[in-house]
Amino acid sequence: MTFGPSPVFNTAVKYGSFSVSQDERDTGSFLTNLWDVIVLGRTALFIQMRKAMDEIDTFDNAVKFFSKIKLSAASYFILGGAKSGEGAVVTRDRDSLVDVWRLNASAGRWYVVETNYDHSSNPPKGDNRRAPLMRTLNATGPAAISAA
């Protein structure tokens, strides 16, 4: 979804290759983000997403792309692939990779949950959206989830 003639988005699917959804990582300030774009000339976050959709052709290349690019704001990139087991959350600061958290069914990680907080940290009190979702997914189990 976009507003007006804006050619940017924060969720996209490249059929047969990968999907990406961007989520805010609550670090830094809006003014710093704006400074990076307007004064320093850094490419805006959503323009980088558009570039990925134009230039990247595989899930693995998308993970590499979102792990290395310079960003105007810290973010999470939630990536899904076209093949079984392709899924990851790329956690980023403006200039560096923080973490890549991948699906790993053999280790019991058949899903990853991103709710605006680093997966390795406890969510703030009063905003634990992660726990109810994880309870529901664990109660459902991977065998009960299918394309149908």
Instruction: Supply the pTM of this predicted model.
Output: 0.85
103 vs 40, which has greater pLDDT? 103
| Cα dist from 41 to 13, 37, 47, 49, 71, whole Å | 28, 5, 13, 17, 11
Length of the chain: 148
pLDDT digits (tens, 9 = 90+) for 16-49: 999 999 988 877 677 777 777 777 777 777 888 8
**11-144 under CATH 3.60.60.10, yes or no:** yes
The domain locations on the chain are 11-144
44 vs 128, which has greater pLDDT? 128
pLDDT at residue number 95? 85
